[in-house]
Amino acid sequence: MSKTGARVLFLRSAGGDDPVHALWCLDVTSGSEQIIADPCDPALAGEGGGEVPFEEMARRERARESGSGIVSYDALADLSRVCFVLDGRVYLAEVLGSDRSSEEVVSNRGARVVELPSTGNAFDPRLSPDGASVAYISGSTLRITGAGGDRRVIGGASTTVSWGSAEFLAAEEMGRSRGHWWSPDSARLLATRVDVAAVADWWISSPVDPALPPRAISYPAAGTANAEVGLFLVDPLVDEPGAATIAVDWSCDGEFEYLARVAWMDDSSSDGSSWPLLAVQTRDQRTLVVLEVDPKDGSTTELHRITDPDWVDLVPGTPCRWEGGLVTVEVHGETSRLCCDGVPVSPPGLEIRSVVGVDGGPEADAILVRASSDPLDVDVLRITREGGVENLTEGQGVHGAAVGGGIVVVSATDLDGSSNIVLPTGHVLVDHAAEPVVRPRPEFRVLTKSALRSAVLLPADHDGSPLPVLVDPYGGPHAQRVQRARGQFLTSQWFADHGFAVVVVDGRGTPGRGPAWERAVKGDLAGPVLEDQVEALWELAAIDPRLDLSRVAIRGWSFGGYLAAMAVLRRPDVFHAAVAGAPVTDWRIYDTHYTERYLGHPDDEAEAYRHSSLCDPANWARGHPERPLLLVHGLADDNVVVAHTLALSRSLMEAGRPHQVLPLSGVTHMTPQEAVAENLLRLQLDFIAGALGLDPRLEQP
């Protein structure tokens, strides 16, 4: 969204079966849409196209980006110029009709697009605010390209050090996907320096091709060393690369471990100069501090400190500035509330999910947020300093937004589909998404057990007879399944249409219910999570005779896979079969930032780790039948490494417990390959049906 409100840039593919995204522009006044850059255009694709750099593939994995083509871009505030990377090459586009439009570049439909000089393996391009240069990352180096050619700014001197890109933890767990930021005057860059020398090397191999050497990854497992992250002010115009750098003292003599947020703020001082704003965390995450950086010498000043006896959440969009005030989201009472200079401005009971930005209209007297009064929905709200609240969304569902120049683009996702609406004009961006082959029909219920939110899905035109049950949760922190959004239930409905009553429950630890609800898993990622699934299942069956509890299976991926495996190992009296995909089975080999938030440091909280582990037979139930368990894991997974599944398989084998393991060659934590994703669902269906004594070859729609 441009700061003037004249244009909206967005990515869109040509259809539901087309993963290749092109860059488009909407003229807000006329409502016309024009394509800016199409990856399929021969002028951009070149002869035979090119390969996506490994570092860009890793960035997409962290962002859970499954599309291709142009998947991200960076633009000037008025959207007159935009840069992007395609197959490792840097492009700059000038939007037609803008004041900057020039005849010096080649036309590409709705824009003039030129390829800039680069190394050919570029990723994460960032356009300078004056529009003259593009900073990008090539391998471990930070580079700049533009009319003056391509040059290295800094990096390349050490095999363990990288410049300008986000380290694993920042991208995977903190929501900080980048590592370099232009100053508003385009004179300097803030850049991270990441040294992984102290981080343990782990190895990802490709067993289907034994001739290939394993690939090393630096993985900071719980209780071990993190990467050393520095932050520097860099002058990109100095002839000698890296000569003019100023270190930023953000760790404050080692008090802080994590650099969570970095942003340049335009209104940090009375004279209109720009000072960077940082958010940093202690390793135990019980303290978050907002620092202001003096760009003259890199010194920092503490502006605000937030503490919590459990942990301080990192809320997207914060901290930021609002008319000179500092915006944060903090726990007050039973609610995470929007605060300005530490004072709550949003009402109690309204759970703030993220901050979208300052309303870009003439008054600029409000902040736009995503928030929930009911965890099933997420609304876009305008909140004033006086506490006034205006809902910009209509109806139920999950909504998002972008803001600029008094224009807001609201994305709406509900049980009927999704749309993107430009306010206040009401223009709807054309959506080429395919209609799914199933139509989810979740029946939502609020259960008496801690007001658990649940959904039940049944086959179309079901006659009311008892059905085998498939529990289909995620169940862990950071993610909900029970929301009024169609995409949450497509797979669940597919299983339901094969003859199951599918149950989805959000238990303790999931977001949207307030700080106390999320913190109920502190020190124990197993007990509360499993208890809520069992209690919900019993209560639902008591009020709904269509659920046959003599035939219950459970499936899940990632934390859901952990929950599924735990269910048949600890409660075989309730669950009769499980499919566990990419499960975390031993929290000692998951990453520091996520794991230590909930379980603490393993040297101090050994019992919490032991109790939450799946690999310790002491945690398994005794005296019940052994239940069928299928473990599924991608061998290329660098987030939940395959060692988790292999460790559990070894424990099960040593205990004489039958189980099956399905390795997925070349598959990461995601399964973006269409054939793999489809066939994996069919294999799960066959396994569950066979384990419950059903026809393993059910007719498949």
The pair of three-digit structure tokens given for residue 670, joined into one six-digit string: 């995601």
Supply the pLDDT for residue 16.
83
Q: What value does the mean pLDDT take over residues 356-379?
A: 87
CB burial readout 26-65, b (16+ within 10 A) else e: bbbeeeebeebbbbeeeebeeeeeeebbebbebbbbbeeb
Q: Which two tokens stand for residue 55?
A: 């570092």
Residue 455 near residue 444 (C-beta atoms within 8 A): yes
Closest CA to 257 of 522, 590, 593: 593
Residue-level pLDDT at 492: 98
Q: What is the mean predicted confidence (pLDDT) over 302-326?
A: 96
Residues contacting 78, CB < 8 A, separation 6+ = 2, 3, 4, 6, 7, 98
Q: Which residue has the tokens 């996907």?
A: 177
Q: What is the pLDDT of residues 102-128, one digit of tens each?
A: 433 334 456 799 999 999 999 999 999
pLDDT of residue 486: 96
Residues 6+ apart with CB under 8 A from 372: 350, 351, 353, 378, 379, 512
For residue range 429-465, list pLDDT tens digits in order: 988 888 899 999 999 999 998 899 999 999 999 999 9
Q: Is the pLDDT of residue 267 over 60?
A: no
Residue 103: its pLDDT value, please? 38
For every residue of 74-138, DSSP letters joined together read: EE-TTSSEEEEEETTEEEEEEETTSTT--TTSEEETTEEEEEPP--S-EEEEEE-TTSSEEEEEE
323 or 609, higher pLDDT:
609
Cite the beta strand spans of 459-534 per DSSP E. 467-471, 501-506
pLDDT in tens, 191-217: 999 999 999 999 999 999 999 999 999
Whether 637 has a pLDDT exceeding 70, the answer reads yes
Give the predicted TM-score (pTM) of the model.
0.94
Residue with more model confidence, 359 or 174: 174
User: Three-state DSSP class for 563?
Assistant: helix
Residue pair 277/291 in contact (Cβ under 8 Å)? The answer is yes
Report residue 381's pLDDT band, with 50, 70 and 90 as the boundaries. very high
Distance in angstroms between the alpha carbons of the first and the last residue of the chain: 41
Q: What is the pLDDT of residue 449?
A: 84
Mean pLDDT, residues 257-264: 97
Q: At what angle do helices 559-570 and 527-543 cross, to 10 degrees?
A: 70
* pLDDT score for 405: 79
Whose tokens are 């609240």? That residue is 389
More confident residue, 4 or 473: 473
Q: Which residues 6+ apart lie within 8 Å of 135 measured at CB?
A: 125, 126, 128, 142, 143, 144, 153, 164, 180, 182, 189, 236
Structure tokens at 25: 């522009």
| Neighbouring C-beta atoms of residue 524, cutoff 10 Å | 17
Q: Which amino acid is at 639?
A: N
Enclosing H/E stretch for 141: strand 141-146
The confidence score (pLDDT) of residue 105 equals 36
Task: Please report which confidence band the pLDDT of residue 360 belongs to, taking 50, 70 and 90 as the band edges.
Answer: low
- All domains of the chain, ordered by start, with CATH? 1-115 (no CATH), 443-691 (3.40.50.1820)
Residues 268/277, Cβ–Cβ less than 8 Å = yes
Question: What's the mean pLDDT when you consider all of the chain?
Answer: 92
User: 525-542: per-residue pLDDT in tens?
Assistant: 999 999 999 999 999 999
- Residue 561 has a pLDDT of 98
pLDDT of residue 268: 44
pLDDT at residue 696, rounded to an integer: 52
88 pLDDT band, cuts 50/70/90, is: very high
Identify the band that residue 623 occupies on the pLDDT scale cut at 50, 70 and 90.
confident
The pLDDT assigned to 361 comes to 60
What is the 3-class SS of 198-244, one letter each residue?
CCCEEEECCCCCCCCCCEEEECCECCCCCCEEEEEEECCCCCCCCCC
Percent of the residues in the chain that have a pLDDT greater than 90, as a whole number: 80
Mean pLDDT across 264-292: 85
Name which of 331, 374, 332, 337 is nearest 355 in CA terms. 337
The confidence score (pLDDT) of residue 270 equals: 47
Say if residue 47's pLDDT is above 60: no
* Confidence grade of residue 43 (pLDDT, cut at 50, 70, 90): confident
Euclidean distance between CA atoms 66 and 20, whole angstroms:
10
**pLDDT given at position 101:** 47
What local confidence, expressed as pLDDT, does residue 2 receive? 78
Q: Read off the tokens for 310.
A: 């459990």
Query: How many CA atoms lie within 13 Å of 168's alpha carbon, on the beta-carbon side?
Result: 22
Residue, of 471 and 63, whose pLDDT is higher = 471
Confidence of residue 625 (pLDDT cuts 50, 70, 90): confident
In whole angstroms, give the CA distance from residue 673 to residue 663.
Answer: 15
Greater pLDDT, 7 or 405: 7
Angle at 268 between CA 266 and CA 273, to 5 degrees: 60
Span 28-39, pLDDT tens digits: 888 889 999 999
- Helix ranges, 332-422 (H): none
Query: Residue 654: which residues within 8 A CB-CB, separation 6 or more?
Result: none
| 3-state per-residue secondary structure call for 146-209 | ECCEEEEEECCCCCCEEECCCCHHHHHHHCCCCCEEECCCCCCEEEEEEECCCCCEEEECCCCC
pLDDT value of position 102: 42
Nearest CA to 382 out of 368, 370, 371, 395 is that of 368
- Return the pLDDT at 654: 97
Output the pLDDT for position 269: 45
Where b means 16+ CB within 10 Å and e means fewer, 83-93 reads bbbbbbbbbbb
